[in-house]
Structure 1
């Protein structure tokens, strides 16, 4: 099973076929070689092993991110 946290595109490099994404405050460059549709700044995507796999709806992404943040907060509370 693979768990992918929605990531927001913050920069697009057409020449290198890559995008920079923000995943819960962590930025990294990933490949967009597998995407058939163009990506733009502000899009939300799912990533697997360094490749953008698909673009997802903004509202769905925000709901998922909120859920992940709740889980992290709960785990942080339990470890104290």
Structure 2
């Protein structure tokens, strides 16, 4: 099962505006935000992430609801978090 997981933008990489540092359940990673060109995120924004790419912007309420759901399904969420931890976009 492939899931989108919510993350909060911590920082936009200055010399690479298509990349941002995000925090997801205590995991911090650089992800690609290039698919969000129409409405680029800024620090503090929440996004939906899949395998290292931001798919869409979401609000904090949606992010919390998604995290509550993901935590309730157990293994699939753990697998998605493991995939995020292994991803390296630089």
Q: TM-score, normalised by structure 1?
A: 0.75
Map of 1:24 onto structure 2:
25
> In the alignment, which of 65, 68, 71 is matched to residue 69 of structure 1?
71
Task: Find the residue that maps to 2:48 and give its secondary structure.
Answer: strand
What is the rounded CA distance, in whole Å, between the counterparts of 1:34 and 1:67 in structure 2?
25
Gaps of 5+ in 2: 75-90
Alpha-carbon RMSD across the aligned residues, in angstroms, is 1.7
Gaps of 5+ in 1: 73-80
After TM superposition, the structure 1 = structure 2 runs for residues 1-16 of structure 1, keeping only pairs within 5 Å, are 1-16=1-16
What is the rounded CA distance, in whole Å, between the counterparts of 1:14 and 1:55 in structure 2?
20
Larger radius of gyration: 1
Shift of 1:49: 2.3
Count of matched residue pairs:
72
